[in-house]
């Protein structure tokens, strides 16, 4: 099957993407509106971008006419957000936080997750997450303002909060963090079934 996006329906292309780009990590993103309302929502179009300085990016899509996500609107206004890592025990509350509710609804209260003061940014951390990242906006790269188009929000991590139980000498214990990944549709995957694969060592030819 050959698919040319220019000749296809955006919703079909979206289905191809979420089924192919798997598993996707989940960023539970908090932000704050300029009137001080907290916002929380999961994003799985999410990735690390740089480690020096540490930077991450995620993509809020456009889902209706001129309908940009509250997270994006807040970040455009305040230039700050946090990313909170989703362990398996948080999935139900993360899912509630994904409800498409109006901007005046605080998804922390809705999902019964606890807002915790951050050290630098003004939006709260998710207290129940084992790892939180305070981020300052670098840039919003607008790809398209069409339906299912969107933007890439690029942010610098300016502070990590890591539960002491899951880290030793900067190495995160995956059994303790126990993250989940997003698959296509409403599917998720656990991260317990892992294997090791050491990268090949290329010997330098003798001079
Ligand atoms: C696991 C998960 C991942 C999601 N990933 C994305 C995503 O990458 N981009 C997006 O626009 N919406 C995504 N959504 C949907 C948003 O979380 C949802 O529309 C939310 O209400 C947006 O909130 P906001 O308007 O407060 O930012 C995802 C939902 C779930 C449950």
| Segments making up each domain of the chain, as ranges | 5-190
The average pLDDT across 44-54 equals 98
Q: What rounded mean pLDDT belongs to the chain?
A: 96
What is residue 65's predicted lDDT score, i.e. its pLDDT?
66
The CB density around residue 6, as the number of other CB atoms within 10 Å, is 6
What is residue 66's predicted lDDT score, i.e. its pLDDT?
65
Instruction: Classify domain 5-190 at the CATH class level.
Output: mainly beta
pLDDT at 148 over 90: yes
Q: How far from chain centre, in Å, is Cα 34?
A: 22
Instruction: Determine whether the shortest distance from the Cβ of 69 to ligand 1 is under 6 A.
Output: yes
Euclidean distance between CA atoms 160 and 170, whole angstroms: 11
pLDDT at 204 over 70: yes
Q: Which of 57, 98, 103 has the most ligand 1 atoms within 8 A of CB, as the residue to mutate?
A: 98
For 86-109, what is each residue's pLDDT tens digit?
Answer: 999 999 999 999 999 999 999 999
pLDDT at 26 over 70: yes
pLDDT at 207 over 80: no
What is residue 91's predicted lDDT score, i.e. its pLDDT?
98
Euclidean distance between CA atoms 87 and 94, whole angstroms: 10
Integer CA distances (angstroms), 72 to 57, 58, 132, 165, in order? 12, 10, 19, 32
What is residue 64's predicted lDDT score, i.e. its pLDDT?
77
Nearest CA to ligand 1 atom 14: 43
Q: Which of 14, 44, 148, 184 has the most ligand 1 atoms within 8 A of CB, as the residue to mutate?
A: 44
The string of DSSP letters for 104-126 reads TS-HHHHHTPPEE--SSSSSPEE
88 CB burial (10 A radius; 0-12, 13-18, 19+): middle
Give the chain's length: 207
Euclidean distance between CA atoms 134 and 32, whole angstroms: 13
Instruction: Give percent of the chain above pLDDT 70.
Output: 98
H or E stretch including 11? helix 10-20
pLDDT at 84 over 90: yes
What is residue 205's predicted lDDT score, i.e. its pLDDT?
78
The average pLDDT across 109-117 equals 97
pLDDT at 156 over 90: yes
For ligand 1, the distance from its centroid to the CA atom of residue 29, given in whole angstroms, is 9
For ligand 1, the distance from its centroid to the CA atom of residue 41, given in whole angstroms, is 6
The average pLDDT across 18-23 equals 98
What is residue 135's predicted lDDT score, i.e. its pLDDT?
98
What is residue 200's predicted lDDT score, i.e. its pLDDT?
96
What is residue 203's predicted lDDT score, i.e. its pLDDT?
87
The average pLDDT across 149-163 equals 97
Instruction: Determine whether the shortest distance from the Cβ of 61 to ligand 1 is under 6 A.
Output: yes
What is residue 139's predicted lDDT score, i.e. its pLDDT?
98
Euclidean distance between CA atoms 26 and 84, whole angstroms: 9
Instruction: Determine whether the shortest distance from the Cβ of 30 to ligand 1 is under 6 A.
Output: no
Instruction: Determine whether the shortest distance from the Cβ of 180 to ligand 1 is under 6 A.
Output: no
């Amino acid at each position: 099957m050959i698919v040319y996006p220019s000749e296809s329906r955006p919703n079909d292309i979206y289905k191809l993407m979420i089924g192919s780009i798997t598993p996707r990590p989940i960023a539970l993103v908090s932000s704050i509106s300029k009137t001080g309302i907290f916002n929380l929502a999961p994003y799985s179009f999410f990735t690390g971008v740089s480690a020096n300085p540490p930077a991450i990016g995620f993509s809020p899509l456009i889902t209706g006419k001129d309908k940009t996500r509250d997270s994006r609107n807040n970040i455009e206004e305040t230039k700050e957000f946090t990313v909170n890592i989703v362990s398996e025990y948080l999935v139900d509350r993360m899912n509630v936080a994904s409800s498409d509710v109006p901007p005046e609804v605080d998804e922390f209260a809705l999902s019964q997750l606890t807002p915790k003061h951050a050290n630098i940014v003004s939006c709260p951390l998710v207290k129940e997450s084992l790892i939180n990242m305070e981020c300052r906006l670098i840039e919003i790269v607008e790809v398209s303002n069409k339906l299912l188009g969107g933007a890439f929000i690029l942010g610098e991590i300016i502070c990590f909060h890591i539960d002491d139980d899951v880290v030793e000498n900067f190495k995160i214990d995956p059994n303790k963090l126990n993250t989940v990944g997003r698959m296509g549709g409403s599917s998720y995957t656990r991260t317990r079934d892992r294997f090791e694969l050491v990268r090949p060592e290329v010997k330098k030819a003798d001079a």
